[in-house]
Amino acid sequence: MSDNVAHAIAGAGGGIASMVLTYPLITLSTRSQVEARRAETSVLDAVRRIIAREGVAGLYAGLESAMFGISVTNFVYYYWYEWSRGVFESANVRRGLGKKLSTLESMAAGALAGSATVLLTNPIWVVNTRMTARKNDKTEATSDLPTLENPRPKKAPSTLAVLRQLLRDEGFKALFAGVIPALVLVINPILQYTIFEQLKNLLERRRGRKLAPMDAFYLGAVGKLFATGITYPYITVKSRMHVADKADREPSVVRSLKKIVDEEGVSGLYKGIGPKLVQSVITAAFLFAFKDAFYNLTVQARSRAKLSK
């Protein structure tokens, strides 16, 4: 097993673990983004409405597809990031500069990995956003609460059911809705990992040793807080494009941004930012901590496998 694959497996495992821990916050943020035009509600009100309408399980709508999505996304991202990083490190060693990456090299590695990841995984996140937002649940169009005629909320459709309906109603192209803002959002992990790598290098030079998982936890949180705060308007646009019908979908990112500002004001670009920031920071912090732990376990397993041969 190559080191790139070890990092990819660790990233996938860390992503799943952190996703499960913070998924209700993803649900709240996503619904705030796509339902902003329907109602102005606080986070607490949103929680109450979701539980009243769908039960506690409503906070985990789409978790199955999200776990699959994050495992594929992180596996692809970390594989290509470590591969790109290895190319830059080899070039630096040949030039006698050592293996540490500069800020620009970290950003370039992140851009390559992020672009490849977006193109490969966008269909997964389109389906997940629709499941999380419960866009296709017709009961929501008439009432947010159960009624005497319908005391139980309609059962959430499966991932495959949502995918089939999407392909039937809107065609294959709908799976790539929001891919342009998603590519723009490649800057999010670039900023996150660049900040993380530079802070990590600084701490390791000062301490003379590798970071502990708890150190990675805090540095991951700092990087994600900064990155998400800057790029949030594009996250909103991407979510809206994921759930928009073909007839309602704006053809460009700029027009989508303008439409939101015209209809809801600048604040419309930041709907759901509270739970999203909390979720992003906690997820990133756990991800880096879990990834380091999973990577160490993967390397140990690889070493034992070699010794047993």
Could you report the per-residue pLDDT of 233-282, keeping only the tens digit for each?
Answer: 888 888 787 777 666 666 677 888 888 888 888 888 887 788 777 877 78
Q: Which domains does the chain have, with CATH numbers?
A: 3-298 (1.50.40.10)
Determine if residue 41 is left, alpha or beta; phi over 0 gives left, psi from -120 to 50 gives alpha, anything else beta: beta
Checking if the pLDDT of 148 tops 50, the result is no
pLDDT of res. 42: 64
User: Which residue in 14, 103, 26, 90 sits closest to 61, CA to CA?
Assistant: 26
Mean pLDDT along residues 2-11: 82
Q: Give the tokens for residue 24.
A: 């209700």
Residue 154's pLDDT band (cuts 50, 70, 90): low
Checking if the pLDDT of 64 tops 70, the result is yes
Q: Give the model confidence (pLDDT) of 98-113 as tens digits.
A: 777 777 787 788 888 8
Give the count of beta carbons closer than 10 Å to the beta carbon of residue 56: 10
* Calpha distance 178→119 (Å, rounded): 11
| CA angle in degrees (0–180, nearest 5) for 226-231-233 | 135
pLDDT of res. 143: 42
- Note the helical H segments in 149-272: 159-170, 179-184, 187-207, 213-243, 253-264
Q: Give the model confidence (pLDDT) of 35-56 as tens digits.
A: 655 545 566 777 788 888 888 8
Crossing angle between the packed helical segments 103-133 and 3-34, to the nearest 10 degrees: 50
pTM: 0.62
Secondary structure element (H or E) that encloses residue 178, with its range: none
Residue written as token pair 């673990």: 17
- Between the alpha carbon of residue 247 and those of residues 19, 36, 129, 169, 251, the distances in Å are 32, 19, 18, 11, 10
